[in-house]
Amino acid sequence: MAAEQKVRTRRTGTKTSEPRRESRAGPVEAAQNACRDLAGLIGYPAEGVSAVCRTEDGWRVDIDVLELQRVPDTTSLLATYQVDVDQAGELLQYRRVRRFRRGASDDWPAGHP
C-alpha cells in the first residue's frame, strides 16, 4: 500500500482504502440546512423556502420567516432572508432582504400582467 493512502476501519469492522470525499449538498439538502441554521441563529421559525439558486460557491436560499405573529394571522409580519451556503451545505452568510405582512401581495413591476 502506498504511503499516502490511509486505511480506515468502518463500524462493521471492514477496512477500506477509499479517500474520504467532501459531500456536496443538492438543492433540497442545501435548503434544509439553510432553514435549520437560520432558525438557530435568529430564533424565528422558517415558514418556507421561496427560492433556491446555484451559486459559484454553493447555493443561495431565500427563506420566509415568521417574525411577529398577530391575530388575525393575515396581519402577522414575515421576512425573507437570503442565505448563502457552501457546496457542503454549511452556512456562509445571511441577510434580511424584505419584511411584509402575511396578507400583502407582492408589488409587481409596471407592465406586468
pLDDT in tens, 57-111: 999 999 999 999 999 999 999 999 999 999 999 999 999 999 999 988 776 555 5
pLDDT reading at 18 higher than 70: no
pTM over 0.75: no
Contact 67, 49 (CB under 8 A): no
User: What is d(CA 89, CA 27) in angstroms, rounded to the nearest whole number?
Assistant: 9
pLDDT reading at 16 higher than 70: no
pLDDT greater at residue 18 or residue 96: 96
Contact 35, 49 (CB under 8 A): yes
Segment 29-44 shows an average pLDDT of: 97
